Structures are given as structure tokens and as C-alpha cells.
């Protein structure tokens, strides 16, 4: 039985999944690593910790591969991070991550040099603090002694590809989140980079997600217990790979996904590169050769986890039961889920969360209910931007928060769109493995691979009536908060 290994380099750990040619999970392994926050707003990780995790998951998988022919490995991982390599391929400093906010000044400068409408026209997005390109400018400005030693800047998953196969390469889905790629022509935008004082040679070779970028080095093959030279496939950024794992692509029009993980993510496929003119949601390349829209609420299940820690005496199940007993609207209590700033549709890293409308009548259950509703309403605002650009007939729900019927009902009400629950394995590692099965010829096309491996989806709870009526008050509270931050320099 032929099989592929998908690797997903997440923010909290590395996941490896073995997927056979019939789309069945045969084995998996995980390894964690620390997240460092040396200053407020900074998040980074040590690429050497990723290498140690890679060795750990390979050792865990090796005894589980009996009876399987591993035909390839596919890559996925957190987008937007920056791994700065010298000419010998050594990381020069810890890698700033997707949610790192140190580049606010660089983002402002970028939009002074290249106006926001022009950036959106070229790259599909405005300048965003979390993207990789502002991180490169930050290093050049603050650490010129290190910057002159930079030979190549890789995305996190592509650093795994460099370790495994010696390749300094990337693919369109992840590269479109750098902030430096001409999204229509799918090339590094030399004119844009020149205007910013950079050169295209800093960035790796571009290509399709299913292409082979190299063969597995002997030292890694020995750890995994397979032959050296097993093909390593470029893969995709985590959101695009996760969408493939769900069977979401240009071949399944009108179906998107909504993830209730640490962050909340809305994903909608798109045939042509059509950005929101104001850049309120992201436009990226999809791993299927087309495009997709992406809207992100940075603190979704992360907001619920934050609140849960404030009540250590109660289990999560207890808190959710209390929230279910509270009425819709939580007696006028609103929660704005901006605990880590906000991405879509405000692009404001300084935004902070708030409970608004608190009174003596409110209990713990009302607080939990307000958090669930606040996240749903936040994603509802994002959906209203996206639905004018792409078809949205149904969303497949994933992530830990999708296990709550109450949360899914609130979400379906806010989105005004059916939300389905996925049965079985899902995630970016699955999508990376599917791309490896295509890249190594097990499937002749991605469309056929997705048709064969698509997981089952069942109806979620019906949309909760009345959720949409909460949106005007929610948006009014957000506008009040935005005005405060707009007054600050």
C-alpha cells in the first residue's frame, strides 16, 4: 500500500500524518516546541527547535510504517514567518512568526512608499504587520549588521524542506502571504521590492504546490527508516493545505471552511485574483492553481481559553452549559475578541478586547455566552465582506470550537449560511500528504485526489435565529473602540 507523509509545522508543535492512497490515516505523531515572547507584541521560535521536533516525529513514525511504501513527503505550516539564513544555510536569529507585531513602523513606511491601493492591486493585500516582507524591512532597519549576512529568507515550512532535501524553494500559496509576490503573474514583484530597497534574490524559487523540490537526505531517511531520495513535495501554507484536506478547491464551488481554532478563519475559493479594494480580507493563491479569500479573527477559541483560565474552579463543559442557559444577547453584554489585536477586516494591531454593557445582573454564564457570540459576530462581519467577492453556499466547520453545538449554531446564525461538521481526520497535514500523493504520481491530478480523499460532512445544528440582529450593536461598539485607537499616533 502506497502512502505519503504530510508535515504541518504549527505554532505549538509539528504534526506528521501518514495517509494511504485511499485517503485513510495510517499513523500520526506530534512533537512540541516553545513559543518565545521576548517583548510585548513579539512572537518568535527557534528554527533549531523545529529541527529537533522533526527528528522526534520521524523516530515516532518509523515503527508505524511497516507494510507501507512511503512514496513522498508533503509540507505545510504556519504562514508569514521569516527564517533568515546565511550562505551556509544557518539561521541568523529566531524566526518572527505570523502573529508578531513588531513591524508597525515598517508597515506605515511601506504604504508611504507604495500606496495601499497599489499594494493591493499588485499583491492582493495591503501591508500587514504579520506578513514576512515587513519583517525583512525590520531586520534591515534595526540590525543592518545581520541583514548584510542574509542570503535567503524562507517561510517556516520551506525551512523544513531545506532541512529534508536541501531545497531553498517555496510555492505560490505560502509565497502569496509574504507580501512581495505579484499575485496575478505569480512572480516576485521586482519593481515593488526595488522601491523598498530590496532584491528578489533574497526570496526562494517559486513553483506549484504539488511539485517535487528534492529528495530526502540520507541522514533523515535513516531516522525515518525509508530509502534516501524519497521525493519531498513543496506543499502549501496551512490554510490552503487544510482546505485541501477538506476537499475545498475550485472544483467544489460555493463551499468554504470556517475554523474555530486559536484563531477563527474563514476560507472561500476564488477562480480569479479579485481582492477586496480596501484589503479588509486577504487574497492568496490556493494550492489548486486558483485563489482563495481568507478572513482571520485572531482570538477565537483563544478568547474562550483565556476566559476559562479565569475560572479554574469550573470545567469547560460546565462553562458551556452555563452559556447555553443564558439568553441570546447575554442581557446586553457584548464581547469584542481583540485580545491580540485584529486582522480582518480592521487590520489594527493596537485593538484590544473588551466586555461592554456589564451590569450587576450578569453572571459567569453571561460572560461565556458573550465570548461565544462575540467570536461568531466577528466572523459574521468578515463574511459580509467576503460574500460580495466569492460564492458562499456552505461552510465546513473545523477546529476545537466546532465540537460545541451552541457555538456552531451561533456561527451559522451570524454567517447566515449553512455550517456542516466534518467527520474524520482533517487538517493541514492531511492536505500536505494529498499534495505529495499527487506530486509523486499516485494520482494523475489534484481533482482526482480530492475526489478520492474528501472526508464526509454532516449537517451541523440549525442556525440560531436572531444572531444577525446583534450585528449592528456589535459593529457600533467596535467603531467606538476604533475611534479611540485612530486618535493615537
pTM (whole model) above 0.75: yes
CA gap 49, 33 in Å, rounded: 6
Task: Provide the grid cell at 314.
Answer: 469550573
Write down the pLDDT at residue 412: 97
CA gap 241, 269 in Å, rounded: 13
Q: Give the residues across from 256 on adjacent strands.
A: 395
Neighbours of 265 (CB within 10 A): 27
Question: How high is the mean pLDDT of the chain?
Answer: 96
> What separation in angstroms does the CA of 148 have from each of 48, 88, 195, 214, 247?
22, 14, 18, 28, 43
Our measurement of the distance from residue 457's CA atom to the centroid of its chain's CA atoms, rounded to an integer in Å, reads 21
Write down the pLDDT at residue 426: 75
Residues of the chain falling short of pLDDT 70: 488-489
| HEC string for the chain | CEEEEEEEECCCEEEEEEEECCCCEEEEEEEECCCECCCCCCCEECHHHHHHHHHHHHHHHHHHCCCCEEEEEEEEECCCCCEEECCCCCECCCEECCCCCCCHHHHHHHHHHCCHHHHHHHHCCCCCCCCHHHHHHHHHHHCHHHHCCCCEEECHHHHHHHHHHCCCECCHHHHCCCCCEECCCCEECHHHHHHCCCCHHHCCECCCCCCEEEECCHHHHHHHCCCCCCEEEEEEEHHHHHHHHCCCCCCCCCEEEEEECCCEEEEEEECCCCCCCCCCCEEEECCCCCEEEEEEECCCHHHHHHHHHHCCCCCHHHHHHHHHHCCCCHHHCEEECCECEECCCCCECCCCCEEECCCCCCCHHHHHHHHHHHHHHHHHHHHHHHCCCCCCCEEEEECHHHHCHHHHHHHHHHHCCCEEEEECCCCHHHHHHHHHHHHCCCCCCHHHHHHHHCCEEEECCCCCCCCHHHHHHHHHHHHHHHHHHHCCC
Q: What is the CA radius of gyration of the chain?
A: 22
Phi, psi of 260 (to 5 degrees): -110, 65
Is 405 annotated in the active site?
no
Write down the pLDDT at residue 395: 97
CA angle 116/119/120 to nearest 5° reads: 90
Contact 8, 432 (CB under 8 A): yes
Write down the pLDDT at residue 378: 98
* pLDDT one-digit tens code per residue, 305-317: 999 999 999 999 9
Write down the pLDDT at residue 243: 96
Write down the pLDDT at residue 391: 87
Query: Which residue is catalytic, options 158, 174, 182, 238?
Result: 238
Amino acid at each position: 500500500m502506497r502512502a505519503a507523509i504530510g508535515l504541518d509545522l504549527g505554532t505549538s508543535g509539528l504534526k506528521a500524518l501518514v495517509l494511504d492512497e485511499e485517503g485513510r490515516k495510517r499513523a500520526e505523531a506530534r512533537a512540541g516546541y516553545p513559543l518565545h515572547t521576548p517583548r510585548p507584541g513579539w512572537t518568535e521560535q527557534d528554527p533549531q527547535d523545529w529541527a529537533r521536533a522533526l527528528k522526534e516525529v520521524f523516530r515516532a513514525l518509523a515503527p508505524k510504517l511497516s507494510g507501507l511504501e512511503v512514496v513522498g513527503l508533503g509540507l505545510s505550516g504556519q504562514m508569514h514567518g521569516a527564517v533568515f539564513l546565511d550562505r551556509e544555510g544557518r539561521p541568523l536569529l529566531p524566526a518572527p512568526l505570523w502573529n508578531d507585531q513588531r513591524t508597525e513602523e515598517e508597515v506605515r513606511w511601506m504604504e508611504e512608499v507604495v500606496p495601499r491601493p497599489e499594494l493591493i492591486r499588485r499583491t492582493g493585500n495591503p501591508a500587514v504587520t504579520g506578513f514576512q516582507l515587513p519583517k525583512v524591512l525590520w531586520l534591515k532597519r534595526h540590525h543592518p549588521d545581520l541583514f548584510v549576512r542574509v542570503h535567503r529568507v524562507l517561510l517556516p515550512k520551506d525551512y523544513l524542506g531545506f532541512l529534508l532535501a536541501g531545497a531553498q524553494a517555496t510555492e505560490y500559496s505560502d509565497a502569496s502571504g509574504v507580501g512581495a509576490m505579484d499575485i496575478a503573474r505569480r512572480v516576485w514583484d521586482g519593481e515593488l521590492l526595488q522601491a523598498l530597497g530590496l532584491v528578489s534574490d533574497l526570496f526562494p524559487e517559486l513553483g506549484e504546490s504539488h511539485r517535487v523540490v528534492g529528495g530526502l537526505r540520507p541522514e533523515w531517511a535513516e531516522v525515518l527508516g525509508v530509502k534516501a531520495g524519497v521525493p519531498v513535495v513543496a506543499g502549501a501554507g496551512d490554510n490552503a493545505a487544510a482546505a485541501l484536506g477538506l476537499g475545498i478547491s475550485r472544483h467544489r464551488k460555493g463551499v468554504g471552511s470556517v475554523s474555530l481554532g486559536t484563531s477563527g478563519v474563514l476560507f472561500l475559493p476564488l477562480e480569479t485574483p479579485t481582492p477586496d479594494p480596501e484589503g479588509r480580507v486577504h487574497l492568496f493563491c490556493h494550492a489548486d492553481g486558483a485563489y482563495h479569500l481568507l478572513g482571520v479573527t485572531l482570538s477565537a477559541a483563544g478568547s474562550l481559553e483565556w476566559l476559562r483560565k479565569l475560572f479554574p474552579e469550573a470545567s469547560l463543559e460546565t462553562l458551556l452549559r452555563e452559556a447555553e442557559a443564558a439568553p441570546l444577547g447575554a442581557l446586553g453584554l457584548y464581547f469584542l475578541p481583540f485580545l491580540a489585536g485584529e486582522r480582518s477586516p480592521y487590520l489594527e494591531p493596537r485593538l484590544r478586547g473588551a466586555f461592554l454593557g456589564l451590569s450587576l445582573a450578569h453572571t459567569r454564564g453571561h460572560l461565556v455566552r458573550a465570548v461565544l457570540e462575540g467570536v461568531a459576530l466577528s466572523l459574521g462581519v468578515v463574511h459580509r465582506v467576503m460574500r460580495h467577492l466569492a460564492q458562499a453556499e456552505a461552510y465546513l466547520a473545523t477546529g476545537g470550537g466546532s465540537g460545541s453545538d451552541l457555538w456552531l449554531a451561533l456561527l451559522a446564525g451570524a454567517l447566515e449560511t449553512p455550517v456542516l461538521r466534518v467527520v474524520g481526520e482533517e487538517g493541514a497535514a492531511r492536505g500536505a500528504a494529498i499534495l505529495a500523493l499527487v506530486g509523486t504520481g499516485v494520482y494523475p491530478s489534484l481533482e482526482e485526489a480530492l475526489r478520492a480523499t474528501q472526508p464526509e460532512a454532516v449537517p451541523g445544528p440549525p442556525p440560531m435565529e436572531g444572531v444577525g440582529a446583534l450585528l449592528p450593536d456589535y459593529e457600533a461598539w467596535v467603531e467606538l473602540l476604533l475611534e479611540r485607537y485612530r486618535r493615537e499616533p
